[in-house]
Amino acid sequence: MSGTGRTGDGHGRLGSRLSGLAVAVGCVLFLGGFGWAAVVYKPYTVPTESMTPTVHAGDRVLAERIDGSEVRRGDVVVFTDPTWGAVPMVKRVVGIGGDTIACCDKGRLEVNGKPIEEPYLHTKNLASVNDFTADVPKGQLFLLGDERSASLDSRVHLDDPGQGSVPRSAVQARVDAIAWPPNGMVGRPQAFASLPGGVSSPGPLRLQLGAVAVGAVLILGGAAYGPLKAWSVRSARRRSERVTADAH
């Protein structure tokens, strides 16, 4: 009987250690995931409807802090440029340095003579209400809104130096997800993937959210061990007492 008692006590101590370890690891993952995300991402509130339907005015987005050199065609970026009003704006990059942007053959945008399918447009086959052509200087970006009939974008600045483009250094971040209202990740348009440089890779947001979720499960599971163990012991004791009482 004494050997059995020691075994049960050992199992209890092992369970307590494991539950404590689960809580500790869970805290590291939970807090680490949040801390990592806070370093990598910055929240922004979209100011206008110019990116409808991808994002709407008032949406809270999570944008990955990046250097302008990392921007690829198709990215939705947050940028600030004095010519555009010196306030953070959200637009889609459709051209980079060396590109020739033209519109509109059958309602489609062309990049270096290649028609681009844009399924994210608010109005299908309406890449622009007005025809235009622009040559993007080296180190610059040509930006359009997804709501082409209402967006004030590079087309408005075609007569400015650079034909409406902005320097890469103006980019502060790349939009990865819509946080509120919750609407998931912002995808990379595959129409730009076949062009030189391809499209950018998603940021680490999914991995960060996974770390937070796993951490929360470990914390809750580890914290629940003690109360569940106590409940199990009390239940076993009551059963034993009932068996003893019935025997008498």
Beta pairing, strands 114-116 & 132-135: unpaired
Cα separation, 217 vs 227, whole angstroms: 16
Structure-block tokens of residue 69: 């050199």
Residue 42: active-site member = no
Catalytic residue among 19, 69, 91, 149: 91
Q: Which of 19, 50, 151, 200 is catalytic?
A: 50
Query: What's the N-to-C CA distance of the chain in angstroms?
Result: 22
Cα Rg for the chain, rounded, in angstroms? 28
Runs of H (alpha helix) within the chain: 2-40, 205-247
In the 8-state DSSP scheme, what is residue 197?
T
Is 124 annotated in the active site?
Answer: no
Nearest to 135 by CA among 92, 97, 83: 97
**Sign, Cα dihedral of 80, 83, 85, 86:** positive
Euclidean distance between CA atoms 141 and 80, whole angstroms: 12
Cβ within 8 Å of residue 92, ≥6 positions away: 51, 54, 74, 75, 76, 77, 120, 143, 144, 145, 146
Cβ-based neighbours of 182, under 8 Å, separated by 6 or more:
none
Please identify every residue annotated as catalytic.
50, 91
